[in-house]
Amino acid sequence: MTLLRLLRRSRRARSEWEEPLVKGRKAGILILALLLASTPIILSYTFLVVTSFANTIVFTPFINFKITWTTENYKMFFQGKLSPAAGQVYSTKDILTFIANTFIVAAGVTAVVLASSIPAAYAISRINFRGRANLMRLLMLLHAFPGVALIIAVYFIYIYARSPLYNALRDLAETGLVSKSFLASFDLAYSFFFVIVARASLEIPMSIWLMKGFFDRIPWELEWAAIVDGASRFTAFRKVVLPLVKPGIAALAIFAFLAGWEDLIYVYVFLPEMTLATFIHNQLSGGSLETTYLPVVAAAATIYLVPTLLFFVVTQRLLLEAVWGGLKG
Amino acid sequence: MAKRNSKKLALAFFLAPALALIIFFFIIPTLLTIWISFTNLYNWKIDRVKEFVGLQNYKDLIYFIQHDPDVEKVVKTTLVFTSLTLLVNVLGGLALAIFAYLIDERVSLSFRLLWILPRMTPIAVFGLLWYYFFYGSELGTLNSVLLRLGVIDQPISWGSDPSVQPWASWLIIIFVNGLVGVSFGMVVFYSAFKSVPRELIVAAKVDGATTWQIIRHILVPMARWHLVFVTVWQLLSLLTTYPHLFVLVEWGVVDKNYGTTWSLYVFLTAFSKAVNYQALAAAAAVILVIIGAILGLIVLRVMKFEEMIQPPRGDV
């Protein structure tokens, strides 16, 4: 894993010069204070995972009842049973579809973000053109202005664009160029396409900034040499520069994937099928702890959390640097 | 001439995908939101987008703010939530960054990672964590702990019991959003501290400065621009984002009105089956767009942004 190697290399050797400011007992007190402040985070995640393996909700550090450890919750989730007493609400295939849907959205967002922001970041980093400064200002403004506030208009476009597309496809289906079954699944495909592109767009201003930071670090003499040797700008970009920013691309891909993976609002609004997010949402909205069997929901949530945690462990430092979107320039 | 053309071609190739997405999902939606706010669009009957009603939606909005107790609550919630969460996020982020800076770097790395976890956690999962933490019967973590400690003798429904409103709902949304937001300040401030020349700190220590003096007279003054930046940036995102509030409200963790800020009000007005009034929601969204644009411009100023847009070194 290139990323890991890069991260390891960036871990500088420690010298006297870099000793912590506070040592010994005082440091102990600081760490204790930090731990104390972190208890809600540590406890809440622990309760979630523990509950997913228990026959009851585990919600308090003072346990005064007996817990039976079990993987039954995960089995029930994959069988589509929402509680031990209830029958199958969903089939196993439904549940796998929810997981696959979550994955499709996340992978789609990743693809769209990579394909659009890498070239744009390259152009901004390397080419001087009229309007470049204004484009950068615009990107920063859009980065600061979360697009979720524009969702009404985006949904309007979603409805508005649907019927001409559907009609065009219907005409194509009549000529036989497109199969009838595709026409039937058009709505679903359209929703997936739209939710992916719309969700990806939210990430684009930040992604361009992040990627520009990576391109800026590559000495331009390298591609200049390639261009002098007769390579076109595209060849120089593809053969010389892209391989050098692989860690950046990996970072960008992870962020984009997580953004698509965690989304609730967009899939809730645009997607007729469920993802893990809307599955959990449906179990809890309008329900109550008395009617919702939480251990199964906890199992679903734990499964939902796994990719996030995986990426989390892999990226570590990179994550900490990139939270503010490569704003350092 | 051929070279100019090839440069244009390259530019078009590199920029087109991103520009298309930005136009379709930022520029057009912004203009469309303004347009819709002057029409009579409801129930997603999109033909109604041609029915102009002038400023009626804005007048309605002002009327609701003054006379509809629910909307009044939303406005109050927005003000309280935004200002207090802002305070938590900026000061909490500063405190975390200082603590992390003072201790051994490897220990601090694990804390910084831990605090960034809420930001990366899927919204539905993060909502679930606090769903049963704040649940209104003895099944909720908070209730069970308070009962156990003898602070209360009856479980309290934090989100619906009128005797603890509005503060119970407010504190819950501030707490949950604070946990997500505080890491932003932490990361920015920490990297600001890290860029303070080490010589400065060592010199101060040699001269006998206490740790507190180093914080007070070196670290914080060095990070003052970052403080302004984080404040404005967080203000903007607290005003305009709502996904976490959405799950807390929809799952009944908090009171519907005392858990709804202006941006969630926009969303619910447009998308909840009971209201479904897009024109009114758009008018409410335009207010957000205006505030967002103003704050965004301030961010550009604060960041000394002009220094960052210098022409590239390597243009061919």
pLDDT (tens digit, 9 = 90+) per residue, A46-100?
999 999 998 888 777 766 667 788 889 999 999 988 888 877 888 999 999 999 9
Average pLDDT over residues B247-256: 91
Is there a domain that residue A140 lies in? yes
Taking an 8 Å cut-off on Cβ atoms, the answer to whether B128 and A312 are in contact is: no
Most confident of A104-118, A209-223, A224-238: A104-118
Six-digit token string for A283: 């179990």
Taking an 8 Å cut-off on Cβ atoms, the answer to whether B21 and A123 are in contact is: no
Least confident of A190-204, A226-240, B178-192: A226-240
- For residue A171, the tally of other CB atoms under 10 A from its CB is 11
Least confident of A154-168, A235-249, A258-272, B301-315: B301-315
Is there a domain that residue A74 lies in? no
Which residues of chain B from 101 to 120 reach within 8 Å of chain A, CB to CB? 101-105, 107, 109, 111-120
Average pLDDT over residues A288-309: 86
Taking an 8 Å cut-off on Cβ atoms, the answer to whether A232 and B308 are in contact is: no
pLDDT tier at A222, thresholds 50, 70, 90: confident
Which residues of chain A from 256 to 285 reach within 8 Å of chain B, CB to CB? 258, 261-265, 269, 276-278, 280-281, 284-285
| Residue from B6, B27, B34, B125 to probe the interface with A (highest A Cβ count within 10 Å) | B125
More confident residue, A115 or A148: A115
Mean pLDDT of chain B, nearest integer: 88
Q: What angle do CA B298, B222, B194 make, to 5 degrees?
A: 105
CATH code for the domain of A136 = 1.10.3720.10
Is there a domain that residue A327 lies in? no
> In Å, how far are A114, A138, A242, A249, B215 from A214, measured between CA atoms?
14, 20, 10, 9, 32
Question: Of B18, B184, B296, which has the smallest distance from its Cβ to A141's Cβ?
Answer: B296
Say whether pLDDT at A10 is over 60: no
Q: Which domain holds residue A101?
A: 94-277+312-322
Six-digit token string for A176: 């036989």
Helices (H) and strands (E) in chain B, counts: 15, 0
**Chain A / chain B CB contacts < 8 angstroms:** 335
Taking an 8 Å cut-off on Cβ atoms, the answer to whether A323 and B187 are in contact is: yes
Which residues of chain B does A133 touch, with a Cβ-Cβ cutoff of 8 Å?
309
Q: How many angstroms from the chain centroid is the CA of residue A155?
A: 21
Taking an 8 Å cut-off on Cβ atoms, the answer to whether A320 and B293 are in contact is: no
Residue A76 CA to residue A62 CA, distance in Å, equals: 27
Q: Nearest CA of chain B to the CA of A45: how many Å?
A: 7
Which residues of chain B does A48 touch, with a Cβ-Cβ cutoff of 8 Å?
125, 128-129
- Taking only the tens place, the pLDDT of each residue in B12-44 is 889 999 999 999 999 999 999 999 999 999 888
Residues comprising chain B, all counted? 316
Give the dihedral sign, CA A191/A196/A202/A205: negative
The closest alpha carbon to A30, from B182, B186, B96, B193, belongs to B96
Residue B255 CA to residue B189 CA, distance in Å, equals: 34
- Count of domains forming chain A: 1
Which residues of chain A does B253 touch, with a Cβ-Cβ cutoff of 8 Å?
none
Which residues of chain A from 112 to 171 reach within 8 Å of chain B, CB to CB? 112, 115-117, 119-120, 122-129, 132-133, 136-142, 144-157, 159-160
Could you tell me if A300 lies within 8 Å of chain B, comparing CB atoms? no
In the numeric block, the tokens 């402040």 are attached to A37
Least confident of A66-80, A138-152, B165-179: A138-152
Could you tell me if B290 lies within 8 Å of chain A, comparing CB atoms? no
Which residues of chain B does A281 touch, with a Cβ-Cβ cutoff of 8 Å?
124, 247, 250-251
Which residues of chain B does A317 touch, with a Cβ-Cβ cutoff of 8 Å?
109
More confident residue, A178 or A27: A27
pTM of the model: 0.88
- Taking only the tens place, the pLDDT of each residue in B60-80 is 999 999 999 999 999 999 999
SS3 A139: helix
Mean pLDDT of chain A, nearest integer: 84
Taking an 8 Å cut-off on Cβ atoms, the answer to whether A151 and B270 are in contact is: yes
Which residues of chain B from 135 to 164 reach within 8 Å of chain A, CB to CB? 135, 137, 139-141, 144-145, 148
The closest alpha carbon to A317, from B272, B191, B28, belongs to B191
Taking an 8 Å cut-off on Cβ atoms, the answer to whether A27 and B103 are in contact is: yes
- Taking only the tens place, the pLDDT of each residue in B199-225 is 888 888 888 888 888 888 888 888 888
**What is the per-residue pLDDT for A327?**
42
- For domain B69-261+281-305, give its CATH number from 3.40.50.620, 3.40.50.300, 2.60.120.560, 1.10.3720.10: 1.10.3720.10
Which residues of chain A does B120 touch, with a Cβ-Cβ cutoff of 8 Å?
258, 262, 308, 311-312, 319
Least confident of A136-145, A188-197, B174-183, B244-253: A136-145
Domain coordinates in residue numbering, chain B = 69-261+281-305
**What is the per-residue pLDDT for A329?**
31
Residue B152 CA to residue B144 CA, distance in Å, equals: 10
Residue A116 CA to residue A113 CA, distance in Å, equals: 5
Rounded to two decimals, the ipTM of the complex is: 0.89
Q: Long-range contacts made by residues A253-257, C-beta under 8 angstroms, separation at least 24?
A: A253/A110, A253/A113, A253/A114, A254/A311, A254/A314, A254/A315, A255/A203, A255/A207, A255/A210, A255/A322, A256/A109, A256/A110, A256/A112, A256/A113, A256/A114, A256/A200, A256/A203, A256/A207, A257/A106, A257/A107, A257/A109, A257/A110, A257/A307, A257/A311
Six-digit token string for B186: 């932490």
Q: Is the peptide bond before B166 cis (omega within 30 degrees of 0)?
A: yes
Taking an 8 Å cut-off on Cβ atoms, the answer to whether B105 and A18 are in contact is: yes
Question: Of B13, B100, B122, which has the smallest distance from its Cβ to A277's Cβ?
Answer: B122
Is there a domain that residue A264 lies in? yes
Q: Nearest CA of chain B to the CA of A176: how many Å?
A: 31
Q: Long-range contacts made by residues B211-215, C-beta under 8 angstroms, separation at least 24?
A: B211/A21, B211/A22, B211/A26, B211/B102, B214/A21, B215/B98
**What is the per-residue pLDDT for A49?**
92
Average pLDDT over residues A182-209: 90
Is there a domain that residue A9 lies in? no
The closest alpha carbon to B111, from A33, A209, A202, belongs to A33
DSSP string, A303-322: HHHHHHHHHHHHHTHHHHHH
Taking an 8 Å cut-off on Cβ atoms, the answer to whether B123 and A152 are in contact is: no
Taking an 8 Å cut-off on Cβ atoms, the answer to whether B309 and A132 are in contact is: yes
Which residues of chain A does B17 touch, with a Cβ-Cβ cutoff of 8 Å?
115-116, 119-120
Residue B23 CA to residue A157 CA, distance in Å, equals: 12
Which residues of chain A does B247 touch, with a Cβ-Cβ cutoff of 8 Å?
264, 281, 284
> In Å, how far are A28, A57, A84, B95, B187 from A38, measured between CA atoms?
15, 22, 34, 13, 16
Tell me the longest C-alpha to C-alpha distance in chain B.
84
Q: Nearest CA of chain B to the CA of A325: how many Å?
A: 10
Taking an 8 Å cut-off on Cβ atoms, the answer to whether A264 and B246 are in contact is: yes
Q: Nearest CA of chain A to the CA of B69: how many Å?
A: 23
Is there a domain that residue A162 lies in? yes
